[in-house]
Amino acid sequence: MNRTKIFTAVIAASLTSAAIYAAPGAMRGTEGNGSVTKAEAMAAADARFTKMDANADGVLNEADKAAKVAKRFAVMDADMNGSLSQAEFVAAHEARADKREDRRDKRMGRGGAEGKMGRHGGRHGGGMKMMARADTNGDKAVSKTEFRAVAEARFAKADANGDGTISADERKAGRGKWRDRQATPADAG
């Protein structure tokens, strides 16, 4: 997999995860009542953007990709010799698998069936579509404004009654819609 595909997947996953703070089952809110306010969702999106913006220049672009790739490589290169051995690669792969399993176990313990939602944008090309939707000015970079717009749109879509809060019932309804979309083949229609 080349660097562009890796970067696109990372950005798409992050955009999706930031935007889905407003989506079904993704966030419980600070009150602990299962509801998420728009302010909570936007604060979470802002925090995600800040985490993704590796060089703190206010946009997600190739420079952030390079920084993420370098950081990931440094973590994998255990002996710091500038190259990866098969053993280092396998060890990094296993460590990531263990982290994924821990996160999955944590979700399952906390949310039951909600933890089974899996990864978003898993269809081929999903990352590119997400980037294209978020990059509204076509400059091949996603600004914080564009990033927030995606999160706000997702929140508005999930907030069925428009009261500025996504309730547990709205999340449940959204989960059903999400499952229906996932069950529909990508090339149908």
State how far the alpha carbon of 120 is from the alpha carbons of 26, 37, 164, 183, 186, in Å.
12, 22, 24, 13, 13
List the pLDDT tens digit at each of the 189 positions of the chain. 555 555 555 555 555 444 444 443 445 556 666 789 999 999 999 999 999 898 889 999 888 888 888 988 999 999 999 999 999 999 999 999 999 998 888 877 754 444 444 444 444 455 556 767 888 898 989 999 999 999 999 899 999 999 999 998 888 888 877 777 777 765 554
The predicted model scores a pTM of 0.61
**CA–CA distance, 144 with 8 (Å, rounded to integer):** 17
**CA–CA distance, 95 with 76 (Å, rounded to integer):** 10
What three-state secondary structure class fits 124? Answer: coil
